[in-house]
Amino acid sequence: MKRETNEQTNSMNDDEERIAEMLRGLKQVAAPNDFEFRVNARIARGRPAENSGWGFAPVFRTAVPLLLVLVVAGFLIGNYHYSVDSNAVAVMPETDLENETFERVARDVRSEDFVEPGLDTGPKTPPAETFVNDTALAAADHSGADVPVSGPLAMPSAADAEPVPAGGSFDSALSTSNRSIMPPGISRSPRIRIETNADVSRRPITAERILRQIGIEAEFTAGKWFAKGVRAKSPADRSGIRAGDAITAIDGRILGADTEFAGIFTGRTLKVERGGETLFIDIR
Amino acid sequence: MALDEIKTGLVEVRGNAMPEEPLSDHEIIQLVKDGDESAFAEIISRYRNPITNYLYRFLNDYEEAVDLAQETFVRVYFALDRYHTEYAFSTYIYRIATNLAISEIRKRKRRNLFSLTGLFRSDADDMTEYQPPDTRQGPAENLEEDERSRLIMTAIAALPEKYRLPIILRDIQGRTYEEVAEILELGLGTTKSRISRARRLLRTKLEDHFDRN
């Protein structure tokens, strides 16, 4: 057995030796005649670039444009979706059906509204609304019962009222939205919101556009925007704006002939001059 | 006397050196370091054929081998300041050539990473590393090799890199085991075992050829 193993080893060594011999017999390949010249030319050109393993230059050449394309595509897609969502707010209702939709949207905005005390500057007309006090809320929260609310702002109309689920809680009281639970002095009316991004044509947000958005057909005369007419059931109409009123500012921002806003415009309180007196009217 | 006056730039710079005794690699390197540009020609002259042959046997592509051999000398030239005489110069230059060749092989693999030819390899080649075929024109007339040589080259090219390098250095280039170990930065035992394994693999691949002869 041992002899067989030795024979195998010897045979293997013989084979290895034959292979080695075969390789040694291979013809030696010579360098071309201009080898030295070409080496010297390369040396004259300067130090070779270090070999960077993965070769980052080609990677960057591919990755950077790809990244740019992805960023631009992402921006465009995101912007498109954003525009589609925002159009619901920005589109001016022209027909009754659209007007109703607009009001519904306005209510939705109101339900998502939040308090920004900084926006409520200056004197205001006292909001004709009823609020729910903390005690009632706490009781509702514990009992699971709906919060009793009343007042002119409780619901725009009975038909539009959203059903409150039985056994509603504090959250349901919030979600039904039209009921104000804010303390007096802080308006719960929907703010004006216009976005440049929402407009495909990227029209600037002019004073006229803002006023038209809330239902006022305005004309700039004698240095002021005068309401020529107020569309029925529009936010301006609901808020009590009348034809002949001069709207001079929104949230302290004076409206001039060429006033334009960039990006997103939000506002709430209109400064109105009516019959020699100045009123501050919240848009509802 | 007339013959004495016909001296190359290299010999003139050597000054008192005896022209009959060739300078060692280290001495020539020292001359280059001292500013004798022409001394580098002697280095090129000594190593251009062995390095070209080594790279050709490894890459199986003459044009690429020549290109990398030139690159090897360029790198040697620009790295002379960092060269120490700790190792033989031959070991140093072979190591540079080896690293360049390995980089080249990896570049080829990356270039052909998504090549369909790589996906339909046969399982019989599992032991071999995939290398894209050289589609360029064949080498010059000095590469005319017989059928037997081409067979051997194909078998060597099919060896995994870790076996191919040592067997080429040992059996084709004629380096000692110690030199091969230093060039490849391996232990002596590992080097010997890889060379032995490489020969056995070649034996298997060339079995038919052996049997015929």
A18 and B210 in contact by Cβ < 8 A?
yes
pLDDT (tens place) for every residue of chain B, 213 residues total: 344 444 444 444 444 444 567 888 888 888 888 888 788 899 999 999 999 999 999 998 899 999 999 999 999 998 888 887 777 899 999 999 999 999 988 888 777 665 544 444 444 444 444 454 454 444 544 455 677 788 888 899 889 989 999 999 999 999 999 999 999 999 999 999 999 999 999 988 888 766 665
**Would you say how long chain A is, in residues?**
284
Q: Give the nearest partner residue to B196 out of A16, A42, A51, using CB atoms.
A: A16
**Three-class SS of residue A206?**
strand
Q: Give the nearest partner residue to A42 out of B70, B152, B153, using CB atoms.
A: B70
Min Cα separation B53/chain A (Å):
5
Q: Where are the beta strands (DSSP E) in chain A?
A: 192-195, 205-206, 216-221, 224-230, 246-250, 253-254, 260-261, 264-267, 269-274, 277-282
Instruction: Return d(Cα A80, Cα A40) in angstroms, integer.
Output: 60
Cβ contacts below 8 Å, chain A against chain B, sum to 99
Interface test with A, best of B47, B70, B151 (most A CBs within 10 A): B70
The closest alpha carbon to A189, from A266, A245, A110, belongs to A110
Min Cα separation A5/chain B (Å):
16
Q: Give the nearest partner residue to B48 out of A19, A35, A51, using CB atoms.
A: A35
Mean pLDDT by 10 residues, chain A (284 residues): 56 78 86 90 75 57 86 84 45 46 50 44 43 42 44 41 44 41 46 63 77 88 89 88 90 84 80 89 84
Interface test with A, best of B64, B74, B204 (most A CBs within 10 A): B74
Residues of B in contact with A19 (CB under 8 A): 171, 199, 202-203, 206
Tokens 């039985």 map to which residue?
A166
Q: Please state whether the predicted TM-score (pTM) of the whole model is above 0.80.
A: no
Please tell me which residue of chain B has the smallest CA distance to A15. B203
A35 and B52 in contact by Cβ < 8 A?
yes
